[in-house]
């Protein structure tokens, strides 16, 4: 039995083709065929090095070979070049050191999209601010890589910024002291319009996610939450231990949460609940879609199998392979599949794949029939049963209890505006916020009543025309409610923050609105499972 114990694996990784370590000896002991292939590979390298018509860039050539080797295994075993290792590790670490802004490069300057709450920039920089100089040096036409190098740095160090702010004629000179910056995985948490449903949006499972989750749910409970909607659409996963901790908060002790099985014994783990049960009596609904993967599928699949939550949305991605990341001596890393995930009922989460054909594997989820629900398709999938005997389906991914139609397709004109590099929705809302600071006085009034006038929308469309974006005014009229919502949500972000931005977005989210009609089923499942 494993209850949240960290497995520390120390492995000596040798990049040299014929270096013999205990791992290498094991490989060669498996048979002479691999050894012969390595000899052929060495012979190829020698011939290319001496005979090829031009000097060979061995860094890029070998990097391509490493990538090809991993691609031939499965879609999720990967080679990570040295220059990407830190960024990948950081995204799941939960923090970094810097000034704390989300940014884009608009009109050739760093533009603040949002200061990160609680960071050194919070209260000093505003959405829409442009960084003209950094430590006295021009930031004109700066690249993204240069932004990270100049703005990130050790905690306690200083950086001087010359800032252009809408409404001011002169640059603001601001000094910011760098600090540790949190990377939040809980993007939004608020009560829905019924004042009893708590909405919680997560985009990853990082090292801090379980703590963020508990804090968010406790905060919602103090506001009067009676039932919880967890939105993990587009959540691609993360750390197994973090999702197990979250599941544990909803269960009594002794329940199998998830288990892994691999070729080697040290890859086999069974995870059980501890009896922590912080939120055992809370009705729960989980929203998934075809981009919900890995840890997201463990959360939804486990709570579905144990009859603890109603799962709504679309069939999930189907990534049920366990990877371990091993550092290489040159600073690169490989992420190797060592096991497969199974839900409590025995369902394999992993969707079928053909080795070496990652392109077809990823293209499949964009097929319009990927999530088509019909009796013929379900009949071909293996059947499993939940704790109380409900039928659930295997065959890869998590099939929801309640299927929700995918979001509608935008008109081409609206899609062109959304995709444009100048971020027109953000830019217009940023300028509007400067002109109308009085809107910030009353969030409730803004949420219930605010709407852009026809003249203001026409002004926005004129700006779109001036940017050379191809639009059809008839199509924009068709999407007017959506455009209003995009602009209003961006304005909410400017005036209050990300949480309010997402609250506005839910107004026109058809999947969320439909999900809200299924709380009776969620409660029935919880009661049948003996939780409520």
Which of the residues are catalytic? 294, 305, 319
Contact 40, 17 (CB under 8 A): no
Separation of alpha carbons 403 and 406, rounded Å: 9
DSSP 395: S
Q: Is 496 helix (H, G, I), strand (E, B) or coil?
A: coil
Contact 247, 305 (CB under 8 A): no
Q: Is 199 helix (H, G, I), strand (E, B) or coil?
A: strand
Q: Is 471 helix (H, G, I), strand (E, B) or coil?
A: coil
Separation of alpha carbons 491 and 446, rounded Å: 10
**Bridge-based pairing state of the strands 227-231 and 197-202:** parallel
Q: Give the chain's radius of gyration (CA, Å).
A: 26
Separation of alpha carbons 265 and 318, rounded Å: 24
Q: Is the four-CA dihedral 489, 490, 491, 492 of positive or negative sign?
A: positive
Separation of alpha carbons 293 and 349, rounded Å: 9
Token pair 């029935």 in the structure block, residue: 524
Contact 281, 357 (CB under 8 A): no
Nearest alpha-carbon partner for 290 in 256, 314, 263: 314
Classify residue 55 by burial, with Cβ atoms within 10 Å: 0-12, 13-18, 19+: exposed
DSSP string, 236-283: --B-HHHHHHHHHTTS-TT-EEEEEEESSGGG-EEEE--S--TTTTS-
Give me the long-range contacts of 504-510 (CB less than 8 A, separation at least 24): 504/447, 506/192, 506/199, 508/481, 508/482, 509/407, 510/404, 510/405, 510/407, 510/408
Nearest alpha-carbon partner for 322 in 12, 74, 81: 74
Separation of alpha carbons 268 and 283, rounded Å: 32
Token pair 């779109």 in the structure block, residue: 464
């Amino acid at each position: 039995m494993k209850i949240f114990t960290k497995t520390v694996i120390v492995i000596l990784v040798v990049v040299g083709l014929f270096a013999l370590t205990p791992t290498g000896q094991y490989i060669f002991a498996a048979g002479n065929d691999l050894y012969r292939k390595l000899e052929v590979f060495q012979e190829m390298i020698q011939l290319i090095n001496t005979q090829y018509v031009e000097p060979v860039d061995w860094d890029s050539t070998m990097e391509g070979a490493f990538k090809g080797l991993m691609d031939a295994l499965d879609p999720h075993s990967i080679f990570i070049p040295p220059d990407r290792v830190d960024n990948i590790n950081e995204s799941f670490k939960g923090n970094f050191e810097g000034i704390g802004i989300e940014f884009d490069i608009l009109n050739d300057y760093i533009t603040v999209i949002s200061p990160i709450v609680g960071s050194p920039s919070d209260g000093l920089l505003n959405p829409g601010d442009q960084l003209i100089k950094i430590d006295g040096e021009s930031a004109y036409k700066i690249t993204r890589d240069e932004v990270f190098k100049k703005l990130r740095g050790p905690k306690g160090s200083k950086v001087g910024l010359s800032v252009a702010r809408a409404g001011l004629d002169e640059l603001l000179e601001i000094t910011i002291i760098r600090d540790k910056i949190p990377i939040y995985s809980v993007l939004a948490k608020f009560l829905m319009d019924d004042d009893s449903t708590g909405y919680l949006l997560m985009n990853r499972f990082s090292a801090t996610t379980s703590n963020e989750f508990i804090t968010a749910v406790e905060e919602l409970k103090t506001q009067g939450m009676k039932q919880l909607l967890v939105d993990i659409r587009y959540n691609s996963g993360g750390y197994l231990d973090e999702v197990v901790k979250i599941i544990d908060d909803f269960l009594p002790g002794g329940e199998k949460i998830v288990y892994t099985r691999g070729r080697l014994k040290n890859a086999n783990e069974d995870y059980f609940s501890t009896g922590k049960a912080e939120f055992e009596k809370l009705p729960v609904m989980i929203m998934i879609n075809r981009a919900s993967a890995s840890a997201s599928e463990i959360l939804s699949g486990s709570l579905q199998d144990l009859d603890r939550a109603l799962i709504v949305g679309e069939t999930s991605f189907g990534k049920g392979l366990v990877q371990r990341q091993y550092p290489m001596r040159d600073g690169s890393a490989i992420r190797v599949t060592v096991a497969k995930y199974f839900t409590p009922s025995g369902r394999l989460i992993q969707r079928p794949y053909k080795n070496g054909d990652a392109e077809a594997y990823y293209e499949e989820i964009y097929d319009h029939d990927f999530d088509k629900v019909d009796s013929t398709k379900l009949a071909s999938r293996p059947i499993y049963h939940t704790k109380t005997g409900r039928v659930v389906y295997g065959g890869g991914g998590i099939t929801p209890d309640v299927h929700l139609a995918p979001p509608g397709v935008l008109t081409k004109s609206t899609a062109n505006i959304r995709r444009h590099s100048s971020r027109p929705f953000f830019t217009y809302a940023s300028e509007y916020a400067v002109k109308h600071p009085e809107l910030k006085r009353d969030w409730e009034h803004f949420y219930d009543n605010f709407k852009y006038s026809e003249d203001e929308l026409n002004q926005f469309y004129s700006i779109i025309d001036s940017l050379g974006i191809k639009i059809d005014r008839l199509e924009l009229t068709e999407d007017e409610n959506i455009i209003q919502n995009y602009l209003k949500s961006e304005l909410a972000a400017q005036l209050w923050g990300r949480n309010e931005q997402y609250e506005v977005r839910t107004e026109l989210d058809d999947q969320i609105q439909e999900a809200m009609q299924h709380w009776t089923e969620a409660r029935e499942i919880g009661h049948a499972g003996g939780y409520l």
